[in-house]
Amino acid sequence: METTQSGVDAAPPGDDGSAPQTTRVGVVRETNPGERRVALVPKIIAGLVKQGVQVVVEAGAGQGALIPDTAFTEVGAVIGDPWPAEVVVKVAPPSDAEIAKLSAGQTVIGFLAPRNADNKIGALRDAGVRAFAVEAIPRISRAQVMDALSSQANVSGYKAVLVAASESTRFFPMLTTAAGTVKPATVLVLGVGVAGLQALATAKRLGGRTTGYDVRPEVADQVRSVGAQWLDLGIDAAGEGGYARELTDEEKAQQQQALENAIKGFDVVITTALVPGRPAPRLVTAAAVEGMKPGSVIVDLAGETGGNCELTKPGETVVVHDVTIASPLNLPATMPEHASELYAKNIAALLELMLVDGVLAPDFTDQVLADSCVTRDAEAEAKTDSAETSVDTTDSTADTSDSSVAGSAGKEQG
């Protein structure tokens, strides 16, 4: 594929000089155990087909999300082998076996876990595949519609509350019945980013008395806006790009001590605290768990990066000191219908940014594409850098190490 002066990769014209063929997009059937989402859903495919995009869906790709093959063909997709398509869209990072099905020149879009040490970005680059990691889409207003971390974090935050409610030995709402009055559950959410804010809102809707805590002080207003109280521990650790920085050892000790005292008073604690590229911060110590009332529940959403609670066993539910500690992994996959719908909207928006009249032509002077593309080869990089652009793309050649992850927002979470 040629790169033009503006850094735009133009699709080659047809052999007879005719207009280039519109892009073919392949939707694969996910193979990760427990993964029930699908990268594009019929409603979204209909819009792409209207733009002239050809969509090939692997048989059974929608099965986990209860979408039959016929729902895809009804909107103009065809059922077939998606792997030779010019663009392959996925949810989970591709396995080695899946990468072996790809050839040089193809494009892959999906969660690629750019900050995980064992990610497959190097293998994709070696295969000559151009890969876009949704985790590396910059957190700027224009890219909100493509922000898959946010769309899936919303699902996780919501579902975490349902897990807590179902593990709890107590009601969430206040109940006044002939048999007596039940006090509402007190719910503390530690780490109030996208998932935490959704957890607070959901717990409130269930009737819980909610409190939120974060190390970014600007979150206080957002916490109050969903009817929760703000727990102020006096630590300010706002980092870059809207994320938190890691605390110093002194701050960690101060935070753990203060939380140990605060946590005792809550029936439910939901933790969602993450620092990009770092192990999850330890917020809930074993002593804090011991101090909770028997029957209390902790739901730890940070299990994939080690957990926010000292006693968390990622992927398991354990009971310690009569406190239930649940650490479910990949909660979005447990709500595949809506999680897929939201993710599909994110993927389509990113894809549309790369299409010109239905033809793949990514403009790497666009910050969103430059940041999210994690395997651009050195040649394309050099051509783009020499083109006139005010956008800094120096970060866009990702490596597997933390320091060279494409873009500023890459982090693992699915």
Ligand X SMILES: NC(=O)c1ccc[n+]([C@@H]2O[C@H](COP(=O)([O-])OP(=O)(O)OC[C@H]3O[C@@H](n4cnc5c(N)ncnc54)[C@H](O)[C@@H]3O)[C@@H](O)[C@H]2O)c1
Question: Measured between alpha carbons, how far is residue 50 from residues 10, 233, 358 in Å?
Answer: 21, 53, 9
Q: Is 40 or 284 the residue whose CB approaches ligand X more closely?
A: 284
By beta-carbon proximity to ligand X, the closer residue of 283 and 342 is: 283
Dihedral angle sign, alpha carbons of residues 95, 96, 100, 106: positive
H-helix or E-strand spanning residue 132: strand 130-133
Least separation in angstroms between residue 192's CB and ligand X is 5
Phi, psi for 78 (deg, rounded to 5):
-115, 150
Neighbours of 307 (CB within 10 A): 24
Q: Measured between alpha carbons, how far is 211 from 299 in angstroms, rounded to an integer?
A: 15
Closest residue to ligand X using C-beta atoms: 193
Which residues contact ligand X by CB under 6 A?
A: 139-141, 143-144, 147, 149-150, 153, 190-196, 214-216, 219, 242-244, 247, 272-276, 281, 283
Active-site annotation, residues: 139, 144, 147, 150, 243
Q: Between 53 and 194, whose beta carbon lies closer to ligand X?
A: 194
β-pair partners for 238:
244
DSSP structural state of residue 142: G
Give the shortest CB-11-to-ligand X separation in angstroms. Answer: 30
Cα separation of 309 and 325, whole Å?
9
75/258 with CB nearer ligand X: 258
C-alpha–C-alpha distance, residues 109 and 92, integer Å = 10
| Token output for 399 | 């490596």
Residue 203, SS3? Answer: helix
Q: Which is nearer to ligand X, 107 or 156 (CB)?
A: 156
**CB 280 → ligand X: shortest distance, Å?**
8
- Choose between 49 and 189: whose C-beta lies nearer to ligand X: 189
Report, in Å, the least distance between residue 409 CB and ligand X.
Answer: 8
Residue type, 252: K
| Residue 254, CA atoms < 13 Å, CB-side half-sphere | 12
Q: In this structure, are strands 355-356 and 359-360 parallel, antiparallel, or unpaired?
A: antiparallel
β-partners of residue 373 are 132
Q: Shortest Cβ distance from residue 105 to ligand X (Å)? A: 31
Residue 261: exposure state from Cβ atoms within 10 A (0-12, 13-18, ≥19) = exposed
Least separation in angstroms between residue 345's CB and ligand X is: 14
